[in-house]
Amino acid sequence: MTTAPAPLPGIAPRTIGRTTLRWAGIMGLLAFLVAPMVPLFIWSISFRWFYPDILPSEYSARAWEQVISPTNNVIGATGQTTLIALLCTVLSVLLGVPAGRALGLHNFKGKRIVEVLILAPIIVPGLAVVLGIDTMFIRYGLSGNILGVTLVHLVPTLPYMTLVMSGVYANYDVDYELQARSLGAGRWATQRYVTLPAVFPGVVVGALFTFLISWSQYVLTLLIGDGQVETLPILLFNFARSEPAIAGALSVVFILPGILVLLLSSKYLSGDSAAVGGIGNI
């Protein structure tokens, strides 16, 4: 992540060139990121839309009525997806922050091995991992319920959280904690007033990733949820073939939290916050 330096006042001729270039960049990025979503939205309000028409010949609110209607359980699935993603985020933070601290601050025997193993769930296809886990989960009654799905979502998310935090802590000077202790802060006060504010942007970024990764899980939810746990991606896949209009509307619902979370946390994602320097520089 790099931020372009602010244009300097007083260098007028070059400033214009730069501004133009920057706007071109922004527009290009928007076209690339937002344009693919436009057809989704149009699908959701179309009734008839056949080749070679650029826009649908007839519009309808039917898809959105379907989304709201209780029979399709969209609202329930949205709630379920949110709940799982939130639980998963909380667990990731609770486990990943201390793990990241250990990796970022301390040197211990076998640290390199741990670092490689942490990446393993990201490198190994989720399907392979989950097939192994599935039998265990069935045995312990974790198959087909929210708890099991939440736990299995930790497989792809916890590595992200840990890696983000280890980067943050690698850039963190522990002497700040010693300084706080020396000035009269106890262990907890030190964590609360000194460490947490320093690593907070990293926690936000990690939590954001975790939430979105969990939110968009399909394969893991399908296998461990065993058809009992219905999340938005599952629902979306069901409609994708048969009902493109409803799938379009669902996609819009599906994309929303990502955009929302991204906007809310954008100030932590910009390279300006010192604590995220670690990942900012990668």
In whole angstroms, what is the distance from residue 255 CA to residue 244 CA? 16
Regarding 227 and contact with other proteins (CB under 8 A), the answer is no
Q: How far is the CB of 39 from other proteins (least distance, A)?
A: 44
| 194 scored as a contact of other proteins (CB under 8 A) | yes
Instruction: Assess 65 for contact with other proteins (CB under 8 A).
Output: no
Q: CB–CB of 215/10 below 8 Å? A: no
Which is closer to other proteins, CB of 98 or CB of 186? 186
Q: Beta-carbon neighbour count of residue 102 at 10 Å?
A: 16
The window from 8-16, 192-200, 235-243, 256-264 that contacts other proteins (CB under 8 A) reads 192-200
What's the one-letter identity of residue 64? W
Among 125, 176, 260, 272, binds other proteins (CB under 8 A): 176
Of 194 and 234, which has the nearer Cβ to other proteins? 194
Nearest to 207 by CA among 245, 253, 264, 256: 264
Question: Applying CB under 8 A, does 178 fall inside the site for other proteins?
Answer: yes
Size of the site for other proteins (CB under 8 A): 18
> Which residue in the set 17, 25, 132, 186 belongs to the binding site for other proteins (CB under 8 A)?
186
| 105 in Cβ contact with 169 (< 8 Å) | yes
Candidate list 185, 212, 222, 252; residue touching other proteins; CB under 8 A: 185
Q: How far apart are CA 214 and CA 198, in angstroms?
A: 26
DSSP of 15-67: HHHHHHHHHHHHHHHHHHHHTTHHHHHHHHTEEE--TT-SS-SEE-SHHHHHH
x/- mask, other proteins, residues 125-164, rule CB under 8 A, reads ----------------------------------------
To other proteins, the closest distance from the beta carbon of 106 in angstroms equals 14
Q: What are the helix (H) ranges across the chain?
A: 12-34, 37-44, 62-68, 74-105, 111-123, 126-139, 146-170, 175-182, 187-190, 196-215, 219-225, 232-242, 244-264, 266-269, 277-280
| Residue whose token pair is 């029979």 | 71
Least distance to other proteins, CB of residue 271, Å: 16
When binding is defined by CB under 8 A, the residue of 19, 197, 259, 281 that contacts other proteins is 197
Closer residue to other proteins, CB minimum distance, 137 or 169: 169
Using CB under 8 A, which of 182, 227, 263, 266 touches other proteins? 182
Distance separating alpha carbons of residues 111 and 119, to the nearest angstrom:
13
**Nearest distance from residue 181's CB to other proteins, in Å?**
4
In the complex, what is the shortest distance from the CB of residue 166 to other proteins, in angstroms, rounded to a whole number? 21
Q: 243-282: which residues touch other proteins (CB under 8 A)?
A: 274
Residue type, 102: A
Which spans of this chain sit near other proteins (rule: CB under 8 A)? 173, 175-176, 178-186, 189, 193-194, 197-198, 274
